[in-house]
Amino acid sequence: MKNNINIAIVGFGNIGSFLFNELKNKIQEIEIKTGKKISIVAISARNINKKRKYKINKKIFYKNPLDIFKKEKIDILFELIGSSDGISKKVVQVALNKKIHVITANKALIAKHGEPLSKLAEKNKVNLEFEAAVAGGIPVLRTIKDGLATNKINKVVGILNGTSNYILSEMENTNKNFKEVLTKAQALGYAETNPKNDLDGNDVLSKIRILSSLSFNTKISKNVCLMDGIENIELKDIKIANQLNLRIKLLGITELLNNKLFERVHPCLVGKETYIGNINGVMNAVILNGKPIGETVLQGEGAGPGPTSSALLSDLLSILRGNIKYPFGTPYAKRKTIKNYIKDNYANSLYLRFEVKDKPGVLSEITKRLAKYKISVKRIIQTPDKKSNSATIVIITYKTKENSSKNCLSMFKKNKNILKYPTLIRLFD
């Protein structure tokens, strides 16, 4: 690599502007550590006149990011637009084709188009780096690609969305309902105005698919996976979990079962005494299980300008030091495609909450229906509400196949004694 390096930043929101300022302040440190001279020669965002925290030279500002390639000689490009398609995808494609190294925090782009983009990067002998796409400032991808490169990883478990983790933690701490806590999270900047991808599990799914590919040396999965979000978690569930010495956490899990890939994202009941049960607020954590290393735990802030910028700059230093790497740690041609584990066959202990009319025979109806679908009851908690003439019934089951629980619960839609569709939360084992 040449000594004088030109850098472009495409996308100048909170992350892009923070990165710009970090680069300006740390240029000397970066140059000492890498032996390279760096210059920011281009910035792109939709609105040049928007009031920003950090001042920029309008002479290097481009409204259309594609114009940068016509007018500037770029060596390294940061893509910080977001979204899996459209201009973000186009910018990355053009850059790689022009033999420009790309650094991105865009997990949706990598999860959806990581395969062709990695192939393009390899073809043109440039880097496609995306450490910031998973778990913010936690160096989990570099740990898998480098630190644990000779280990056989068999399972990854993570709290990978700070918004969801904050909401669940705050509901427990403040005794406030989901809607109240979400509003607070939005006011604090922990949740977007439209937080759908954070709450329904899609954000975690993108990250899990990237982790799967790196951990198991596979092509990124496109299969339908087991996925639930936290939108249906009520304060009542938080309180009952507390009584059981448990907490609810939104987990992303990927593992190999019978040599098949099983990815899933859903709320889990975890023990208060466990490590994962004590990751609270906006923190993220990843647990890697492999051989011969055993269990490796990484924890830190998973989002925000600071942690994300830290990951972006670590990728920059790696490139400046001349480390041309395969984007997913292994050549594209050597990465395999493996069959998907059939999610309906997976067995898990369940927490089932029923809101019912408080009348004789209702509990018997429920247990008979469960028995019909071979769902064995481990524990029952029944709490009547005399004011509303209703009752809450919580049933903890032994391990039950997904298909059995799905079919069984669907039958309760027709039962007039059941006031709402049952809440299901899986126990973490």
For residue 296, list its beta bridge partners.
288
The answer to whether 155 touches 148, Cβ cutoff 8 Å, is no
Q: What is the DSSP letter of 336?
A: B
Q: Which residues 6+ apart lie within 8 Å of 149 measured at CB?
A: 329
The CA distance from 203 to 188, in Å, is: 20
The CA distance from 65 to 36, in Å, is: 25
- HEC secondary structure over 292-306: CCEEEEEEEECCCHH
> Residue 100 is encoded by which pair of tokens?
């420009």
Active site residue 207: yes
- Residue found under tokens 């022009």: 98
The CA distance from 109 to 91, in Å, is: 11
User: Quick one: 189 exposed, middle or buried, by C-beta within 10 A (0-12, 13-18, 19+)?
Assistant: exposed
Of 107, 112, 145, 207, the active-site residue reads 207
The answer to whether 155 touches 144, Cβ cutoff 8 Å, is no
Whether omega for the bond prior to residue 360 falls within 30 degrees of 0, making it cis, is no
The whole-angstrom distance between residue 275's C-alpha and the CA centroid of its chain comes to 19
Identify which of 309, 307, 318, 325 has the alpha carbon closest to the alpha carbon of residue 33.
318
Greatest C-alpha distance within the chain: 81
Q: What is the DSSP letter of 333?
A: G
> Residue 277 is encoded by which pair of tokens?
């049960």
For residue 8, list its beta bridge partners.
42, 77
The CA distance from 97 to 124, in Å, is: 7
Identify which of 83, 182, 81, 203 has the alpha carbon closest to the alpha carbon of residue 135.
203
The answer to whether 313 touches 18, Cβ cutoff 8 Å, is no
For residue 153, list its beta bridge partners.
290
Catalytically active residues are 207
